[in-house]
Structure 1
Amino acid sequence: MSNVAEKPAATLPVRSWRRRLLRWLRNGAICYVGIIFVLLLLENKLIFHPVRASEDWIAPPNSLVQDIELRLADGTRLHGWWCPTPGWQPDQGAMLYCHGNAGNLSYRAGSINHLQRELNVAVLIFDYPGYGKSEGKPSEASCYAAADAAYDWLMQVGHVPGERIILYGGSLGGAVAVDLASRRPHRALVLVRTFTSMPDEAQLLYPWLPARWLVRTQFNSLAKIKHCTQPVFIAHGTADQLIPYVLGEKLFAAANEPKQFCSMAGVDHNDGMTAQFYVCLRSFLSAE
């Protein structure tokens, strides 16, 4: 009989499970880092969803709409729609419409039609680089530059005084409008279903990732809105599943007076605007 002590059989399964656990943890960490790496590479594609005019295009809302060309400092050509009302004059002012991250300006034909019917306002809407008929590629900086080019067109070609321009931003366009309002004269700032910043939005969309610290695109409206000194109107749907209602409330809390918040009960991000929205906005613009 051998005098060598035998190892307890129970230790073998324990070691086997430890090895398996370590292997799972290692593979999980590799996958986690891999996902982060892929998201970093695809950041622009996750944020911007342009549709070229050759892929899909909707007819203008009425026969008064004019195609206009804008130019960035680097020569990039952008496209816009100038949508005046019948008998429009520059002293009546105009609305500069900054749209969201998806589609192109023609997708907002219905929205423009509603705004003009409810508010009797002339509207200039433009496409960011890479959207619709605009050249170039979208980025945070190029979106800001496009808004500046549209604003300059209103003043220089449309002869609209800066103090008569209503800045309207929907979704991602809200961040573009806030940036513009923090730097340029305007009559009022209207924000619809927008966020506080891209890091805040990313963290809510990907709560299992350190998204707030990884995203490079900022669109930091929360930091900029304190520099907006004209009246601010913010509308947000309580059922918004893309940009949570709480972000609209947080942005409103940071805005200067005078300001008004329009809560749209049961409205999701891509739902149509309610009659209440137009009533509130019309009242807000008449009072300021």
Structure 2
Amino acid sequence: MPGAFNAASAMLIEKAGFEAVYISGAGLSNSNGLPDAGLLSREEVLRLSSYILKAVSVPAVIDADTGFGGPQDAALTVKAFEEAGASAIQIEDQEFPKRCGHLPGKSVIPAAEFAEKVRAAASARSSKDFQIIARTDARGAGTLDEAIQRATLYIEAGADIIFPEALETREEFIEFARAVKAPLMANMTEFGKSPYLTMDDWSEMGYSFVLFPMTAFRTGMKAMEEALSELKEKGTQKGLLNRMQTREELYRLIKYDINK
């Protein structure tokens, strides 16, 4: 499930044949010049996500960071995102202000406190088809055993899917999957703490969902950086044309018929 950071990137994800889109908190933040630290409000995330939700027909998961507050805030977030057309919401047990899940220095709130957020979120949805994804950052802030214990508590509170963030080895992912009896999500972000594994690897280990939250953003940013450097150096974009999406390709993607 690749991460989208705007409507056009989400449309490319759908065009490539992926069955769902992940609206990445890091992607939304970074594309607006902000760090992945929970700085966007619920209203801002909802506004930015609404363009994505309208642009694609596949299910979309919205990264809601820490839920924008306490249990009541998490409930309001679920209601707003479900009404907007999302298929699932992801919330995490970090303290606010949060940090990128693969950075050091993270802290988590008490497990019982986050379980109340999960319970409130699960109770607020109008349909059981709307999925609650509970992410635990306890491995980075503590131990694998704590992450497993928290996952069990979050399942009891109503989480549909468990997302263990920043496990560090294949063996840790296997141990977590053996201990936690729920659908599992893994994060295959780049330059982080987790090993690079294939979709077949994840399936064999018992993970039903795999995120690639920043792959499109990072490759796109690098391509733009290189193109702009060449433009500055050569004073022309002619050498870049074969690396560009053409006008016709863009119009097909966004379903713009110039004859109408």
Tell me the TM-score normalized by structure 2. Answer: 0.39
Q: Find the structure with the greater CA-based Rg.
A: 1
Which one has the bigger strand percentage?
1
Q: Which has the higher contact order (CA 8 A, sep 6+)?
A: 2
Tell me the TM-score normalized by structure 1. Answer: 0.36
Which one has the bigger helix percentage?
2
